[in-house]
Homo-oligomer: A and B are copies of this chain.
Amino acid sequence: MPREQIFDEAEYERRVARTKDRLREADLDAIVVADPANMNYLTGYDGWSFYVHQAVVVTLERDEPVWIGRGMDGNGARATTHLSEASIRTYSDDHVHSPHDLHPMDYVAGVLEELGVDDGRIGLEMDAAYFTAKSYTRLQQNLPDAAFEDATLLVGWVRIKKSDQELAYMREAARISEHAMQAGLDAIEEGIPEYEAAAAIYDALITGTEAYGGDYPSIVPLMPSGEHTGTPHLTWTDRPFEDGDPVIIELSGCRHRYHSPLARTTFVGDPPAELVETAEVVVEGLEAALDAAEPGVTCEAVESAWRETIAQYGLEKEDRIGYSMGLGYPPDWGEHTASLRPGDDTVLEEDMTFHMIPGIWTDELGVEISETFHVTATGAETLAEFPRQLFTT
């Protein structure tokens, strides 16, 4: 029995039905889903078990998806999904990091045979983290009559539009993000080691709000500081913050695996005029891009509003400024479908959600200020409410 009703059964049925529509469009008989976020999306399965191979199989013929995992995780599937017993299949522990010639995908191949799709057209998430090269070659070896197709983003494109309940969880995550950002800004001061700020942020992320707790985020809080604001993915160290340090905080609250990321920049001491001005440009560009976002507009047009704004100040930035996101597991909360960048002609539709995270780096200083937004019928609604400015300690 599910331990908690995160979504009602009908919502999972709608997700599976939409996935089957996409299978038909792609002329596929089945898909093997290995991305833990996609597994959760289709079944509700939620556990830190993705360090071993597991999968959800959807076929055109069968009503329910089939969850496949390690023996000891079968009870986790019983606890977190609505699946019937026949749809929960587990492999024995000697498949795990096996010293024998035995791989979990051998077992998955057997299930695909049972489901009668071993000579069919099967979609695989060829570029999903956790769907390894070996997972692929073992399926090929076991199922010589199958035709495999790359379906990496098939479920991701179903996920991009959120239901009311998904948006409700993302708004709950946004409340947590606001608390955690405030906790980080409050903690950062000269002489305080970076890890103490990280601990304060984590406390807010997990303690959540008065009404509910927080889940672990798919990406740890990132706090590049000092000369490392130009290294966005370094994590905290024992180094004490120093007078003159810019610090970028990027974090996300998480609720039932749904995120609402938020980034702000602060400065230890009196910020130089250049940083203050750069932050103003980032806010102006961010707001221009948010104003541009509405149904019918392309992703690249949203980015273009940012690009044109900062160009007025002689600035340019090459990277994308945002991406669709929501449900996620480590290492990422992004959905890997639409990106806000030149060349992406995805058209925004109502109930898509994006993290827009523009930034500007000079040789020594960096500023990032971000918002998570929901595409409404008429524009873009940001999920968090947090001042858009450069902070100081």
A positions within 8 Å CB-CB of B = 3-4, 46-51, 71-73, 75-76, 79-80, 92-94, 96-97, 99-100, 103, 124, 126-137, 150, 152, 193-196, 198-199, 202-203, 206-208, 212-216, 219-220, 222, 228, 230-239, 318-320, 323, 330-332, 334, 336-337, 339, 341, 343-345
Contact = CB atoms under 8 A, between A and B. Distances in A.
Contact of A343 (B100, B231, B334): B100
Contact of A336 (B97, B194, B207, B334): B97
Binding site secondary structure of chain A: loop
A152 B127 contact: no
Contacts of A219: 48, 51
B234 A208 contact: no
B318 A93 contact: yes
Contact of A75 (B100, B130, B208, B231): B231
Contact of A207 (B100, B199, B228, B331): B199
Given A127-B132, A199-B207, A330-B330, A320 B99 contact: no
18 contacts: A3-B237, A46-B234, A46-B235, A73-B231, A73-B233, A75-B228, A93-B318, A96-B339, A99-B345, A126-B137, A130-B331, A131-B133, A193-B213, A194-B213, A195-B208, A198-B206, A213-B237, A216-B220
B133 A126 contact: yes
Contacts of A127: 103, 132-135
B93 A331 contact: no
Nearest to A135: B133
Nearest to A193: B213
A47 B231 contact: yes
A72 B319 CA distance: 8
A135 B136 CA distance: 11
B235 A79 contact: no
B47 A233 contact: yes
A50 B228 contact: no
Contacts of A336: 97
A367 to B, nearest CB: 15
Contacts of A323: 97
Contacts of A206: 195, 198-199, 202
Given A80-B234, A231-B79, A130 B129 contact: yes
A320 B202 CA distance: 33
Contacts of A202: 199, 202-203, 206
Nearest to A93: B319
A237 B124 contact: no
Contact of A49 (B103, B196, B233, B330): B233
Contact of A234 (B76, B133, B195, B214): B76
A51 B339 contact: no
Nearest to A359: B72
Contact of A48 (B133, B222, B318): B222
Nearest to A77: B231
Task: Count chain B CB atoms within 10 A of each CB in A79, A213, A341 and give the residue with the most.
Answer: A213
Q: Which 9 A-B pairs have the closest CB atoms?
A: A195-B213, A133-B136, A51-B332, A51-B331, A127-B134, A199-B206, A49-B233, A47-B233, A126-B134
A10 to B, nearest CB: 22
Nearest to A198: B206
Nearest to A48: B233
